[in-house]
Amino acid sequence: MTITRIDSGSRMSQAVIHGDTVYLAGQVGAPGESVTAQTKAVLAQVEDLLARTGSDKSKLLSATIWLADMADFGEMNAVWDAWIGGQGAPTRATGEAKLATPEYKVEIIIVAAR
């Protein structure tokens, strides 16, 4: 089975396709922006990467969401819920973690079908 890598660098690829499964790297928004702005930016990046792999948000299998502060859970969920539209929701886990830089407030990792 073939493995296709999208936007691959020496450290990581933004997306990897293996068979009919798409794995996205953790996506982050602009450092220092609000949780709402970062979440919107991340989900736009997710949509773009999914489109480039031949998938879309209706084919999400799982999402892992990291928040720098769980106090932002409601704010992030407001954006997520509007984006997901109440249908085709994937399995999901959300946790709190130190992200790559303190200015990042949310990181989302997606697995989807093609």
Q: What is the pTM of this model?
A: 0.95
Q: 10-residue block means of pLDDT along the chain (114 residues)?
A: 94 97 97 97 98 97 98 98 93 97 97 98
The CATH fold of domain 3-113: 60s Ribosomal Protein L30; Chain: A; (3.30.1330)
Cα 68 to Cα 91: distance, rounded to the nearest angstrom? 21
Amino acid in the structure at residue 49? L
Please state, in angstroms and as integers, the Cα–Cα distance from residue 15 to each residue in 25, 53, 98, following that order.
6, 8, 23
Two structure tokens written together for 86:
């109440």
Upper half-sphere CA count for residue 38 (Cβ side, 13 Å): 25
Domain boundaries, the chain: 3-113
> Which position has the token pair 């509007």?
82
